[in-house]
Amino acid sequence: MKPIVLAGGSGSRLWPKSRAALPKQFLSLTSERTMLQDTILRLPPSAVSNPMIICNEDHRFLAAEQMLRAGIKHDGILLEPVGRNTAPAIALAAMLASKNDHDPILLVLAADHLIEDHEAFEGAISRAQSLAEQNKLVTFGIVPTEAHTGYGYIKAGEAFAQGSQVAEFVEKPDASTAFKYLESGEYFWNSGMFMFKASAYLRELKQHRPNIFKACEDSITETESDLDFIRISQADFEKCPDESVDYAVMENTTAACMVSLDAGWSDVGSWSSLWETSKQKDVNNNVCVGDVMLEGVSGSYINAEQRLVSVIGLDDIVVVETKDAVMVANRHKVQDIKCVVNELKSNHRPEFEFHREVFRPWGSYDSIDNGKRYQVKRITVKPGEKLSVQMHHHRAEHWIVVSGTASVTIGDNTQLVTENESVYIPVGEIHALENPGKIPLDLIEVQSGGYLGEDDIVRFSDRYGRVK
């Protein structure tokens, strides 16, 4: 059985922790590991082969590094040049997994779900496998615990040994309809997890959405491998329709069936979900993460990342503090975070996409101060890593080494710069920075100039393939 892990979501409902450049699947929200790592490590190793991960181009190094840190072996990170929803993503994985006349059973998982009862999950996987071997297309239906209006539902049809037929997929209901679903016992939450043979899925997709099938087939005619990454044709994939696997296949096939799952599942779709699933509630039903002080507070979720957060005399609220943003909401209104995120995006605010600390394949930088015509960053370069050979049209830079040793190239000159030493890079000068040592390189960068945006970078060479 081959796990296919879909890691392309944006997780905007968990802003300000989750942002476009670092969405929730790459964050540690429910354990010490990231959600992507937990998704793979909870699988029974005796039952599955190396996973294939699917993510977008911008997140490729995040996915690769998290696999490396967790010691997870994989069969490649498939890069989507543009987002086209789940039906095409699964098709690409099925086609690639089917090469060399293989026809594996695919276990399709979202990278950002919580599953608490691993034993129950393994049991559901086993039941689904027996159905997938019979060319069934299996979806996992979550046994509902409340009349939830935030999930789509699956109505169970005729029952058999390992599961049931799918009678109907239904959209997110209103409150009264959700209550009727819960009372009937016939409806289950749609988890977005699936299992089927690669050939069975592709056969149904070709029948019901031949345009998606062809676009995906054309996209993988000539794949390109680059380190851990698998690249496909952007021009061909851009022609592919945007459609979910539910709409494209599962609602149209007669081979759809469902296995029920009661394993402490959550899609961690909001801050209230983290409050609900937490086992760390205090006597007043509060969940506190980080340096938090409360007085007269109940039923609340407080997450402090960088500093002390104190709350007094409030109930049922969510407070999330990061280095550059604070979000306060009624716990029952956290779905409206999307309105804030949409406004940030429309106003081109950097808080929509980036945290103050931004991770790069070579390390990270933290924008610790800025003002008119200047910006200050703390830069950390991992041992043996190197930034691109680059230049800037609008800014000069001054680098002061705090710890470690830097190999700095400015024009045709390369020199070693050690602790408490500095160098100056004039506007328009080609330069590069490398850590030749065995410990992390920390330096302070002071930028000055009329324009300090990250898009004022002209790259001439880059070991991470970022030259365009």
Nearest 5°: the CA angle 8, 12, 15 is: 130
Length of the chain: 468
315 CB neighbour count, 10 Å cutoff: 15
Cα of 29 vs its chain's centroid, Å:
12
Q: Of 313, 276, 319, whose CA–CA distance to 298 is shortest?
A: 313
Q: What is the pTM of this model?
A: 0.92
Please determine whether the domains at 2-266 and 356-461 fall in the same fold group of CATH.
no
Token code pair at residue 442:
């920390």
Q: What does each of the 468 residues of the chain score in pLDDT, given as a tens digit?
A: 999 999 998 889 999 999 999 999 999 999 999 999 999 999 998 889 999 999 999 999 999 999 999 999 999 999 999 999 999 999 999 999 998 778 999 999 999 999 999 999 999 999 999 999 999 999 999 999 999 999 999 999 999 989 999 999 999 999 999 999 999 999 999 999 999 999 999 999 999 999 999 999 999 998 988 889 999 999 999 999 999 999 999 999 999 999 999 999 999 999 999 999 999 999 999 999 999 999 999 999 999 999 999 999 999 999 999 999 999 999 999 999 999 999 999 999 999 999 999 999 999 999 999 999 999 999 999 999 999 999 999 999 999 999 999 999 999 999 999 999 999 999 999 999 999 999 999 999 999 999 999 899 999 999 988 886
∠ CA 433-437-443, nearest 5°, is 50
The CATH number of 356-461, from 3.40.50.2300, 3.40.50.1380, 3.10.580.10, 2.60.120.10, is 2.60.120.10
Name the E strands within 235-341: 256-261, 265-266, 287-289, 292-295, 301-304, 309-312, 317-321, 326-330
* Cα 228 off chain centre by: 17
In the CATH hierarchy, which fold is given to the domain comprising 2-266?
Spore Coat Polysaccharide Biosynthesis Protein SpsA; Chain A (3.90.550)
Q: Which residues pair with 226 in a beta bridge?
A: 229
Q: Are 258 and 139 in contact (CB under 8 A)?
A: yes
Amino acid at 454: E
Selection from 363, 360, 427 nearest residue 397 by Cα = 427
Domain range summary for the chain, segments of one domain joined by +: 2-266, 280-337, 356-461
